[in-house]
Structure 1
């Protein structure tokens, strides 16, 4: 097992590039990329970094030269033979050859496209432009780089013994959480912490701790590189990116209203009925479900990623029942701002009503809250989103208005088209 504290102290991270592989990314990015490669390969998009936590002055904390060095390193990466073999030959969700030969041939020859970086006050403007299948693969590594460079800036000021104690405390905290989770019967939980992790080495340690501490209750990790090296399941389906871009491409209000369902029709065709998890909150969960075609009610389940998770889950249960479905056979994946207390609460609340699963993210892989002066390692909310598609702005409404994004005029239009009324703001934890 890697001595993380010694690695930090002895080498000042120089032997540890932040992103060390094109598959050091979330599994759902690769699944979505294949779908986009098949259905919308010529779409031109712009992705942009968005720091929701404006009190974190990233440009003051992170040296621009170091940032460029890490981003340039990512552009030099390509799939190794072993990584390609794993993607081509492994079984994912019970299906062999999840990734088609034409997609794999393209991916094996891919280098990520150029980036644009500019300092604006105490923040960085970081954008990526080009064809959708290429640009979308920047999202996760870009976030990982910014998050880890911020961590390194704090750690660089610490002494050797201070680092040893910090990581000992961090490991103790993770293990105490794992011990608390052992108390939950029939728990199903996965690591979703790649995008806002403390570091690659730390995420890898957390996954190993979950493997040993939770056994079969730990179902896998979203990180493909770690899934391959630790021989655990790669976990993930799809994200808000697909409906956001499809909606931006819509020619009129009628096409806009249909766009989220077009996404899932393409997804169904892509995966031949597998991976049937709905992410309904991009433009409001209730409206999405109220207007959903009957065939969607037969899907496996939903992922809850914004708003009040209990409200969203109950909305889904009511919808399944109204469509004649048995909700106790449906999967609800909770994945927003989770920590042990919330996991326990939601599991208890929905036990027997649905098959509850948990995608545990930032507060698994980046919880150093209160362990350094001024709480300088506390996690914060950083995202990298598609902001434009073929020249049209993208919009996300979410079940939490604090996560909404897009020009106000378009937000108003989307609210009208999707029938989104008053919403309750929720604190964005991470």
Structure 2
């Protein structure tokens, strides 16, 4: 595939950014089914949040083109082949992962309306409606904005300049793969959909990882690429679930229980490698200290904020104190990873627990230093649930730089979950 020529031809609008409703992360579909079953009447608002305010999205991206891409997404529905893949494929060793009632609903889904408004140099983009419907906007909205920003920067480049740019970027990815190839026992997946340079580039990166790493490459979070390239679809759950469940809590006691209520519902639906704890929404230490005993029996933990090595040590100690063997558990690292950090963490924890990596932005969007003014450097863009049934959501994280929500509610959540001083860590992506 000649990516440079395809990118050059974007001027003739050959490629829509989102090609399918399953051009999304696998965990979104798993969570969507859970929400469809457990919270079908919950009304949720999602909102775009650009943490990197130095990147003026509304200055870079034409509003008409953005609306065109968002309107195209609203026209999409599952194809027969996509439905067959979801209904009949084996995921995590389980056939019929998606129940017939959920699939019947999904096959008839069109994404609900959006609200877009320019506010200064940024866009206000929100989605309101039933939780299981609007949640599927998140990954698509992020991917559209990231790729439109890429297209804006590349727009004035000629064919040869684009060919050289992509040759350099490909070389960078391949050199990373060659470094990873030397790590014995590596287990790594692509988690780069939400902040990718573009769909074609993520697809290329997945193919390069598969060829360069062989069995060390375990799959991709992107369902469309997984289907087309016949690799495993990877993913479990995300902060969205405890954030919304917590917003729905009637009082402080219910709020303290909410993160465990989420996993109780998940426990009823999934087993094996889908039983992965994401403990940092309101602080990892407090979550583990108050966790019910049955959670210690889950398969593993994903570490997504704070100092990854420190929290892996906490997880190992927690398993040992609960009478579990850390060698039989899995720690998944997924925050701000690049090759050196992957090698460091693998070297520190391999042999003490099962170690896996979900490699995101710096796999699928590392164009740092390749254009003038570093105009293609990755930046931190998120789309989060900000309210549920009219009540604000809150995320605390193990890194206060990732905290979100109204100040008074953040203070309340810190009190309920016993959060004291936290180390501030720069958010890379």
On whether the aligned pair clears a TM of 0.5, the verdict is yes
Question: Is the Cα–Cα contact under 8 Å of residues 243 and 281 in structure 2 kept in the other structure?
Answer: yes
The answer to whether the Cα contact below 8 Å between 1:320 and 1:326 also exists between their aligned partners in 2 is: yes
Shift of 1:271: 1.9
Secondary structure in structure 2 of the residue aligned to 1:12: helix
Q: Is 1:395 matched up with 2:390?
A: no
Residue aligning to 1:241: 240
- What is the 5 A alignment of 1:187-266? 187-266=186-265
Residue 273 of structure 1, CA deviation: 5.9
> What corresponds to 2:107 in structure 1?
108
Aligned-partner SS, 2:21: coil
**Are the counterparts in 2 of residues 268 and 274 from structure 1 also a CA contact under 8 Å?**
no
Q: How do residues 271-290 of structure 1 correspond to structure 2 at under 5 angstroms?
A: 271=270, 275-290=274-289
Distance in 2 between the 1:101 and 1:204 partners? 29
Q: Which residue of 1 aligns with 2:122?
A: 123
Rounded to whole Å, the distance in 2 between the matches of 1:351 and 1:8 is: 40
CA distance in 2, matches of 1:274, 1:400: 26
Q: Equivalents in 1 of 2:323, 2:406: separation in Å? A: 39
Deviation of the 1:329 alpha carbon? 1.2
Cα separation, 1, equivalents of 2:58 and 2:273: 43
Quote the residue 2:342 is aligned against.
343
Q: 2:184 matched to which residue of 1?
A: 185
| 1:267 is aligned to 2:266 | yes
How far 1:324 moved relative to its partner? 0.6
Which stretches of structure 1, 4 residues or more, deviate above 6 A after TM superposition?
none
Q: Which residue of 2 aligns with 1:81?
A: 80
Residue aligning to 1:93: 92
Partners of 1:200 and 1:386 in 2: how far apart? 24
Note the aligned Cα RMSD (angstroms).
Answer: 0.7
Q: Contact 1:7 / 1:13 at 8 angstroms: preserved in 2? A: no
Cα deviation 1:289-325 (Å, max 9, x = unaligned): 0000000001000000000001111111111011011
Tell me, in whole angstroms, the C-alpha distance in 1 between the residues paired with 2:12 and 2:94.
38
Unaligned runs of 5+ in 2: none
Question: Do the aligned residues in 2 keep the contact of 1:321 with 1:327 (CA within 8 Å)?
Answer: yes
Q: Could you say what secondary structure the match of 2:136 adopts? A: helix
Q: What CA deviation, in whole Å up to 9, does each residue of 1:151-204 have, x standing for no partner?
A: 000000212111000000000000000000011000000000000000000000
Shift of 1:13: 5.9
Q: Is the 8 A contact 2:272 2:299 kept in 1?
A: no
**Equivalent residue of 2:274, what SS?**
coil
TM-score by length of 1: 0.99
How far apart in 2 are the matches of 1:312 and 1:404?
A: 18
The offset of 1:12, in angstroms, is 2.1
Q: Distance in 2 between matches of 1:319 and 1:213?
A: 36
**How much has 1:10 moved relative to structure 2?**
3.2
Counterpart Cα distance in 2 of 1:273 and 1:318: 21
| Equivalence map 1:372-387=2 (5 Å) | 372-387=371-386
